């Protein structure tokens, strides 16, 4: 009988192999393992068992191709093609964190609709990641939908950031993908302008809004005196006629606004008849998506109210700083007879030692993915893992009080996640390096695993001697008269240290001996390569250090994480170039 071809058994082996190779690579620091991928493929499609040889060839080829990709590329591809596999990786952590979240009032299983609504005037940073993670975490908790909504209706003061270098819309999507936040629907407000116009018109018809032609300073006088301005009394017909003229472009910036009727005696003057739409001269400040097609723009509060209703949002989780906006928005819901979503305000997440406000970050004029910045892209460049951001955000939860954490807290969490992922290599900073010369009468061998807890990842073997051996070690560890243990290699007694060169003698090779002598266990490099390590110091500040490192680092793929033993965790950025994440 003829052997069935792949399609006959309904499985695309190549696809299956790619999915599991990517998932395996993402799980284990960028390198997939043929055996593990084979096992996954076979368990998903047991009907392939009789064709193991053929499958293995495909798996081997696919694993080689995947392992040649940068880890970021692997994660991106996996997230794009099989997002559920990325989910799997984070599922456990999320389950733990998500379950600990307090219940949302009135939330029903399977029926919540949440939204993350960034303004694309900048990329995401630790502060703005918080509503993204929290909204998604609640979507996971209850099931339902998460909406991604770009709130970009202020082309003048909160201009969407779209330049040759960065497109904030795409950068935010990328940030979310990296975080593992998945959304079910996406909207861009600047592409929905007719919806806002239509609702503005309905408010005017109902007598719930009016076209105000007061000069701004005049209006302020009425507002502060809690008195209606003369335009408030216009009839719907008058307002509709004025509205048409506003849309036709008869009024310039500041000459006409649409105000929603609230309560002119409201204790907070900013709530009194707030502006729902205004004129923005887009011939001067064109919108990056719609150019100068519109000159009348809804304010944040108006567009949000209309959208939250039309999109069926059931719960709004937003920062405390928006609490007055929630009050303002309540008037739109009341005028239309809509039900306002349940709103929960959480406190600010202040990060000590890192500028957080968008305006401050923007004013620094650095690339948004600079490794010294607390933008998600910056943290990513530096080597922070999304799991660490999740844990930090979930630990702050939705408490209304402000929470202060330091970058050191984030790094402590990150270390926990990097530790199993990052393979270990030896590195000595060049400015601190001392050449240690000693004689050995036998060959010394060191078989050093890439990671002591994951021996299956492999090892590299050093064979030094017999005869004269030269290695580089950190200067602060060598002192005449002391015995040091060169990690996994030998114990050496230091006889002299002078001018960056130390001479010593082999003392022994056993670890027990080193322990008995209380010899410090130190890293060493032999026939090293020179690498550059970028060390972020503070926002906008970094130094570059040249170091001597193991040649095996050459075969680490760009984008991978490594641990420089007794030094810190780093991410490979390019050939012989690393960024230090933290110690
Ligand atoms: N676009 C608003 C922001 O970025 C969303 C606030 C909200 O309504 O949740 O702060």
CATH code at position 216: 3.40.50.620
CB of 151 within 6 A of ligand 1: the answer is: yes
Task: Indicate if 106 and 140 belong to the same structural domain.
Answer: yes
Number of domains in the chain: 3
Measure Cα distances from 82 to 15, 47, 72, 88, 549 in Å: 11, 22, 15, 10, 37
The yes-or-no verdict on residue 489 having pLDDT over 50 is: yes
CB of 335 within 6 A of ligand 1: the answer is: no
Strand partners of residue 258: 211, 277
Percent of the chain at pLDDT above 90?
A: 80
Residue where a domain stops, chosen among 296, 317, 349: 349
Strands (E), 213-262: 257-260
Least confident piece of the model among 73-82, 346-355, 377-386, 478-487: 346-355
Task: Indicate if 177 and 282 belong to the same structural domain.
Answer: yes
Q: Is residue 536 part of a domain?
A: no
CA 131 to centroid of ligand 1, rounded, Å: 9
Whether 97 and 89 have beta carbons less than 8 Å apart is answered as no
CA 81 to centroid of ligand 1, rounded, Å: 30
Q: Is residue 361 part of a domain?
A: no
Q: Is residue 138 part of a domain?
A: yes
Least confident piece of the model among 19-23, 27-31, 515-519, 521-525: 27-31
CB of 119 within 6 A of ligand 1: the answer is: yes
Predicted model pTM: 0.83
The CA distance from 524 to 565, in Å, is: 10
CB of 304 within 6 A of ligand 1: the answer is: yes
CA 117 to centroid of ligand 1, rounded, Å: 5
The CA distance from 564 to 523, in Å, is: 9
Burial 107-141 (b: 16+ CB within 10 A, else e): beeeebbbbbbbbbbbbbbbbbbbbbbbbbbbbbb
DSSP classification of residue 83: H
The yes-or-no verdict on residue 9 having pLDDT over 50 is: no
The yes-or-no verdict on residue 21 having pLDDT over 50 is: yes
- How many residues would you count in the chain? 583
Q: Is residue 280 part of a domain?
A: yes
Whether 351 and 374 have beta carbons less than 8 Å apart is answered as yes
Task: Indicate if 437 and 479 belong to the same structural domain.
Answer: yes
Task: Indicate if 215 and 313 belong to the same structural domain.
Answer: yes
Task: Indicate if 112 and 193 belong to the same structural domain.
Answer: yes
Q: Is residue 44 part of a domain?
A: yes
The CA distance from 502 to 494, in Å, is: 7
Strand partners of residue 462: 446
Task: Indicate if 344 and 484 belong to the same structural domain.
Answer: no
Who wins on pLDDT, 100 or 263?
263
Task: Indicate if 172 and 267 belong to the same structural domain.
Answer: yes
- pLDDT tens readout for residues 310-321: 999 999 999 999
Q: Is residue 2 part of a domain?
A: no
User: What CATH number does the domain containing 490 carry?
Assistant: 2.40.240.10
CB of 125 within 6 A of ligand 1: the answer is: no
CB of 120 within 6 A of ligand 1: the answer is: no
Write the DSSP assignment of 372-422 as a string of letters. Answer: TS-BHHHHHHHT--HHHHHHHHHHHTT-SS-EEEEHHHHHHHHHHHHHHHS
Residue where a domain stops, chosen among 57, 77, 96: 96
Nearest CA to ligand 1 atom 9: 318
CB of 328 within 6 A of ligand 1: the answer is: no
CB of 326 within 6 A of ligand 1: the answer is: no
Who wins on pLDDT, 508 or 405?
508
CB of 98 within 6 A of ligand 1: the answer is: no
Strands (E), 421-466: 423-425, 427-429, 433-440, 444-449, 459-464
Phi, psi of 279 (to 5 degrees): -90, 130
Measure CA of the first residue to CA of the last residue in the chain; give whole Å.
Answer: 62
CA 269 to centroid of ligand 1, rounded, Å: 21
Task: Indicate if 51 and 148 belong to the same structural domain.
Answer: no
Residue partners of 561: CB distance under 8 A and separation at least 6: 29, 71, 383, 418, 421, 422, 569, 570, 571, 572, 581
Q: Is residue 315 part of a domain?
A: yes
Measure Cα distances from 298 to 113, 279, 578 in Å: 23, 9, 46
Task: Indicate if 118 and 41 belong to the same structural domain.
Answer: no
Query: Which of 115, 133, 136, 300 to mutate to test ligand 1, by most ligand atoms within 8 A of the CB atom?
Result: 300
Q: Is residue 125 part of a domain?
A: yes
Task: Indicate if 148 and 81 belong to the same structural domain.
Answer: no
- pLDDT tens readout for residues 80-128: 788 778 766 556 546 557 878 899 999 988 889 999 999 999 999 988 8
Task: Indicate if 202 and 228 belong to the same structural domain.
Answer: yes
> Mean pLDDT across the chain, nearest whole number?
92
pLDDT recorded at residue 433: 98
Measure Cα distances from 234 to 118, 187, 209, 212, 367 in Å: 36, 35, 10, 9, 50
Task: Indicate if 171 and 24 belong to the same structural domain.
Answer: no
- pLDDT tens readout for residues 142-159: 888 999 999 999 999 999
The yes-or-no verdict on residue 253 having pLDDT over 80 is: yes
pLDDT recorded at residue 468: 97
Residue where a domain stops, chosen among 59, 74, 96: 96
Task: Give the pLDDT mean for 218-229.
Answer: 98
Task: Give the pLDDT mean for 417-424.
Answer: 94
Structural domain including 481 reads: 432-451+461-522
CA 388 to centroid of ligand 1, rounded, Å: 24
pLDDT recorded at residue 8: 42
């Amino acid at each position: 009988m003829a052997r069935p071809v792949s399609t006959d058994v309904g499985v695309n082996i190549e696809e299956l192999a790619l999915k599991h190779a990517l998932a395996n690579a993402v799980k284990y620091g960028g390198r997939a393992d043929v055996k593990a991928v084979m096992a996954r493929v076979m368990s998903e499609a047991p009907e392939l068992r009789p064709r193991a040889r053929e499958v293995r060839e495909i798996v081997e080829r696919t694993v080689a191709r995947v392992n040649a990709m940068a880890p970021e590329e692997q994660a991106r591809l996996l997230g794009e093609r099989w997002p559920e596999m990325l989910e799997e990786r984070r599922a456990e952590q999320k389950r733990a964190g998500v379950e600990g979240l307090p219940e949302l009032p009135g939330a029903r299983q399977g029926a919540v609709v949440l939204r993350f609504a960034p303004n694309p005037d900048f990329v995401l940073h630790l502060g703005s990641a918080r509503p993204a993670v929290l909204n998604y975490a609640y979507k996971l908790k209850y099931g339902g939908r998460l909406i991604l909504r770009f709130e970009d209706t202020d082309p003048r003061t909160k201009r969407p950031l779209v330049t040759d270098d960065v497109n904030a819309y795409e950068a935010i999507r990328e940030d979310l993908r990296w975080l593992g936040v998945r959304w079910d629907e996406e909207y861009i407000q600047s592409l929905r302008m007719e919806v806002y116009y239509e609702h503005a018109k309905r408010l005017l018809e109902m007598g719930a809004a009016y076209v105000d032609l007061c000069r701004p300073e005049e209006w302020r006088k009425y507002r502060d005196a809690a008195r209606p301005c003369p335009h408030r009394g216009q009839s719907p017909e008058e307002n509709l006629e004025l509205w048409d003229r506003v849309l036709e472009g008869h009024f310039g910036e500041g000459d006409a606004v649409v105000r929603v009727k609230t309560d002119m005696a409201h204790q907070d003057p900013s709530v009194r008849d707030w502006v729902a739409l205004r004129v923005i001269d887009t011939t001067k400040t064109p919108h990056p998506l719609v150019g100068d097609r519109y000159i009348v723009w809804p304010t944040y509060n108006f567009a949000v109210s209309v959208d939250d209703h039309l999109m069926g949002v059931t719960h709004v989780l937003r920062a405390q700083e928006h609490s007055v906006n929630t009050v303002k928005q309540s008037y739109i819901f009341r005028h239309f007879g809509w039900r306002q979503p349940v709103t929960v305000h959480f406190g600010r997440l202040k990060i000590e030692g890192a500028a957080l406000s968008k305006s401050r970050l923007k004013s620094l004029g650095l690339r948004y993915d600079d490794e010294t910045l607390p933008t998600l892209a910056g943290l990513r460049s530096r080597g922070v893992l999304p799991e660490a951001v999740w844990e930090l955000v979930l630990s702050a939860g939705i408490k209304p009080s402000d929470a202060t954490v330091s970058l050191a807290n984030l790094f402590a969490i990150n270390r926990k996640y990097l530790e199993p992922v990052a393979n270990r290599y030896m590195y000595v900073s060049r400015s601190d390096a001392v050449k240690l010369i000693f004689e050995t009468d036998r060959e010394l061998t060191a078989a050093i695993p890439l990671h002591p807890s994951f021996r299956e990842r492999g090892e590299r073997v050093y064979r030094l001697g017999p005869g004269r051996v030269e290695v580089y070690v950190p200067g602060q560890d060598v002192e005449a008269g002391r015995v040091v243990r060169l990690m996994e290699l030998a114990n050496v007694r230091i006889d002299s240290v002078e001018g960056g060169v130390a001479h010593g003698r082999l003392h022994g090779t056993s670890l027990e001996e080193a322990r008995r002598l209380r010899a410090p266990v130190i890293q060493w490099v032999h026939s090293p390569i020179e690498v550059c390590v970028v060390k972020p110091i503070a926002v906008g500040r970094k130094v570059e250090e040249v170091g001597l490192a193991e040649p095996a680092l050459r075969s680490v793929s760009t984008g991978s994480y490594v641990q420089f033993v007794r030094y810190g965790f780093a991410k490979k950025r390019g050939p012989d170039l690393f960024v230090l994440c933290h110690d």
